[in-house]
Amino acid sequence: MLVSVPEIAISGKPEENRATSTTTGARVGLALRVAGPVEGAPRPLPALSSIKGVLFDIDGTLCNSDPLHLEVFRDMFAEIGFTGNGGKPIDEVFFQTHISGRHNPDITRELFPDWTEEQGRLFSEDKEARFRALAGNSMTTAITSTLHWYVGPPVISAQPFEHAA
């Protein structure tokens, strides 16, 4: 059984226990069990009133913040004269290879091995502040409008606390 949620395809097969973003193709693990027989027969989803919580891999599925992160990194790298991309501004390929999906401390350690931990922390704080200013409420609005029907426990995220609305 396949259940479609905006931009997410969820397999109801317990042995798969995976979801796939229909926009990015990313596969994410789920903690989801649908009541009913397992033998491949279609099963109805539980009533919304019986759902106690929902976990979404929001960034990359319901929204995509990568273009905003790329823009901020590109601007900041240009300001400090970063030449790690063959002397050119960073592009999508460089971003996907060295930055996307990684935590800021890991990024700064790889790209700036001579920096102190404090320099990396200050760069990361500035980067996150610029990202928040650029993103504004646009991602929160998109996510809220998509999930307007669900009111429940808080969202769990690996992103810095400041990104939460």
Pairwise CA distance, residues 90 & 58, whole Å: 25
CA atoms of 110 and 152, how far apart (whole Å): 39
Give catalytic status of residue 114 as yes or no.
no
Q: Which of 57, 66, 114, 126 is catalytic?
A: 57
**Total Cβ atoms within 10 A of residue 43:** 15
Active-site residue, 57 included: yes
Burial class (CB in 10 A: 0-12, 13-18, 19+), 159: middle
Phi, psi (5° rounding) for residue 20?
Answer: -125, 130
Q: Which of 59, 66, 75, 91 is catalytic?
A: 59
Positions marked catalytic? 57, 59
